[in-house]
Chain A
Amino acid sequence: MAKWGMVIDLEKCTGCQACSTACQMENNRLPGENYQDVLYYTEGKQPTPTLKWFPRPCMHCEEPSCLHVCPTKATFKTADGVVLIDWNKCIGCKFCMIACPYGVRFYTDEKPLIEPNIKDVFKGSGDLSWNPPYKGPQQDNAHGVGIQPNGVVSKCTFCYHKISKAPAGTANLTNEDEATREFTPACVRTCAPTARYFGDLDNPNSEVSRMISSKKGTRLLEHTGNKPQVYYVTGSGAGGGAAVPMGRNGINKV
């Protein structure tokens, strides 16, 4: 069984946010509730501030603190290493949002980011929080895929509706290869400079494994022990561009 993981090459990331947009379309996300975000920030003060950015999906941690705190086991980890939420079990206590060090979880019952409230324009029926005119083909509440119901928490699924259909033994999921294109997460498919790589971390010959070892892949906030399955390569942050944000002590948050 694969252990899915991602590598993001910060040297290649241009901050275009195509990944975020593709994810919004694929997963019917509301404004401000992007599973995949590119965070913009400035570092340094006048006269030499630099504009930086940092792409950030759910890390699908090996030791997910979100899972450990979830009192209902609504948050679970699949055998192929993906952290998902069972919307039928989630009680909306939001402890997982507190406990995720990477801020990647979303509760949908909150004030809209923009007016008019899109949820009011396309009103949902039953439990579903809204009813967008375009919907992905999937609605799988038990895996937290599709339109988010009210009162529960959602997050990036690594496009579980796609990757779970990949043939067993697949090492790389990439847009380049016609055989795997359909199974590749939307953000990875759409990344124009191919800054995103996706594949089996347990397979030493996969592209992701090779990049992590040859380019010294780093993981965010190692002190939390969450052990992300999303790795960042290069991007020392010197001179601006895509970089891991610095903490208060001036050290990158790895």
Chain B
Amino acid sequence: MTTQVEAKGPVGMAMMAGVAGLVISLGIVFSNLMSSGHASFNTGSNGVTWGLPVVNYVFFVLTSTGLTFVASLAMVFGFKEFYPIAKRCVWLAVVTLIAGFASLALEIGHPFRMLWAIPLSFQYLSPLNWMGVFYLAYLVLLLLKFQKVNANDWDSSGSRTLGIASFVAVVIAHGTLGGVFGAMIMRPMWYGPLVPIYFLLTAAVSGAAFAVLITYLTYGSAGNMPEKVRNLMAGSMSKVFAAVLAVVILAVVSRTVIGLWTNADGMQVWDHVVASPWYWIEIVLMVAAFLMLVNGSSPMLPALMVIVSLFIGRYEFIISGQLVPLFKGSWVPGLIQYTPSLTEWMTTLVAFSIALAGWAVGEKMLNLAAAPEGKNS
């Protein structure tokens, strides 16, 4: 049997904050969508097509991807010391995936039509079609896996198969998401066969950061953690986190250098990217987090810094990829201007609130600290 570990962290407060955030943000989003539709977004045919809600979507579904990677360390690859956070990571993968989907649904013109039009038409050429297929399969597999784990079935062959299947599904799913951007040769800032790999790396670091931060939130402090969790956080988790972060820093820097160097039309947006203070905040946060991790400090603050940095990075990737105007409008601008509207920011709050409240509900009701017999403290 597993023991229910008393969560001493601010779980109740997180739940209240999440629910309050959800009520406020959904209230604002729905009332604005009812009254002015998507005109309450600052996106436009002559401007940025995919705005902040898509940034939220990519941020959260890749976070979900990364959380599944972390859970898979124990459940697929047999690194048993990760068991004490595995169940929590599976649950977090579910709620962050839902958070991402919710933000996307608020962005799409006909979200309900989507439910029949995509499966019935099945355009096999479209990365978006495959993204739908695999993220849906992933969600179903995750839920089934969670159900098994929740019934304390960690090691039966069915449970193991589900773990492996959801890992495989999400590797493919995030690859199709990479294809949505990486296949767009008309938008050189996005284009490239390695975009799925870039997403894989950044997803992993995103998952690691969330796993760390939420573990700290659950227990309140390292002192409150069961010994195995504490050792994991200070040991292997910090190391994995630091190692993946290092590779991500390299990937971001190399994208930037190549972006600045190349003369291809469309890549001039990189001058704009590095001229923004946000880019430098992104870099400084990541590098500082890495240095803190290798110096052995608590991974909690680095996790928070990396989450902020990654959100900036997602924004930069998705928005900047659209700033070079194609052949639109009657007077061609140098670069397109875009600032998200209040309604768009509220979709961000919707997504974060779903993730926060969803986690807290799980923490209170689903015994997320459970681990297989003899493998937990």
Would A110 and B109 count as touching, CB distance under 8 A? no
- Among B124-132, B153-161, B288-296, the one that faces the other chain is B124-132
User: Could you say which of A56, A67, A249 contacts B265, with CB atoms under 8 Å apart?
Assistant: A249
Would B187 and A103 count as touching, CB distance under 8 A? no
Q: Does A32 contact B (CB under 8 A)?
A: yes
Would B123 and A70 count as touching, CB distance under 8 A? yes
Per the 8 Å Cβ criterion, residues 196-233 of B in contact with A are none
Chain A residues with CB under 8 Å of B186's CB are 65, 99-101, 221, 224
Main secondary structure on B side of the interface with A: loop
Would A32 and B45 count as touching, CB distance under 8 A? yes
Would A152 and B45 count as touching, CB distance under 8 A? no
Give Cα A223 to B45, complex, Å: 24
- Among A37-45, A137-145, A167-175, A176-184, the one that faces the other chain is A37-45
Chain B residues with CB under 8 Å of A248's CB are 263-268
Least CB separation from B41: chain A residue: A110
Chain A residues with CB under 8 Å of B129's CB are 71
Task: Give the residue among A65, A72, A112 with the most B Cβ atoms within 10 A.
Answer: A72
A-B contact count (CB 8 A): 154
Q: Does B23 contact A (CB under 8 A)?
A: no
Would A70 and B126 count as touching, CB distance under 8 A? yes
Chain B residues with CB under 8 Å of A37's CB are 327-330
Would A69 and B127 count as touching, CB distance under 8 A? yes
Give Cα A67 to B128, complex, Å: 12
Q: Does B50 contact A (CB under 8 A)?
A: yes
Least CB separation from A248: chain B residue: B265
- Among B10-18, B112-120, B297-305, B309-317, the one that faces the other chain is B112-120
User: Could you say which of B187, B263, B266, B327 contacts A56, with CB atoms under 8 Å apart?
Assistant: B327
The interface size of chain A toward B, counting residues with CB under 8 Å, comes to 57
Q: Does A245 contact B (CB under 8 A)?
A: yes
Would A91 and B327 count as touching, CB distance under 8 A? no
Q: Does A16 contact B (CB under 8 A)?
A: no
Chain B residues touching A, range? 35 or more
Would B118 and A107 count as touching, CB distance under 8 A? no
Would B114 and A105 count as touching, CB distance under 8 A? no
Least CB separation from B322: chain A residue: A98
Chain A residues with CB under 8 Å of B152's CB are none
Task: Give the residue among A32, A54, A104, A111 with the most B Cβ atoms within 10 A.
Answer: A111
Would B327 and A110 count as touching, CB distance under 8 A? no
Q: Does B185 contact A (CB under 8 A)?
A: yes
Selected A-B contacts with CB under 8 Å, 20 pairs:
A41-B331, A65-B186, A73-B121, A73-B123, A90-B113, A91-B109, A91-B118, A93-B109, A100-B186, A107-B38, A109-B39, A151-B109, A153-B109, A223-B185, A224-B186, A245-B332, A248-B263, A248-B267, A249-B264, A249-B265
Interfacial residues, chain B to chain A (CB-CB below 8 A): 37-39, 41-46, 49-50, 108-111, 113-114, 117-118, 121-123, 125-129, 132, 180, 184-187, 263-268, 322, 325-332
- Give me 12 other A-B pairs in contact (C-beta within 8 A), A56-B327, A91-B110, A92-B110 excluded: A37-B329, A69-B127, A71-B128, A89-B121, A91-B114, A91-B118, A94-B109, A99-B186, A109-B39, A113-B46, A152-B110, A248-B264
Question: Across chains A and B, which 7 residue pairs bring their CB atoms closest together, nearest first?
Answer: A92-B109, A151-B109, A103-B326, A103-B328, A247-B265, A101-B186, A109-B38
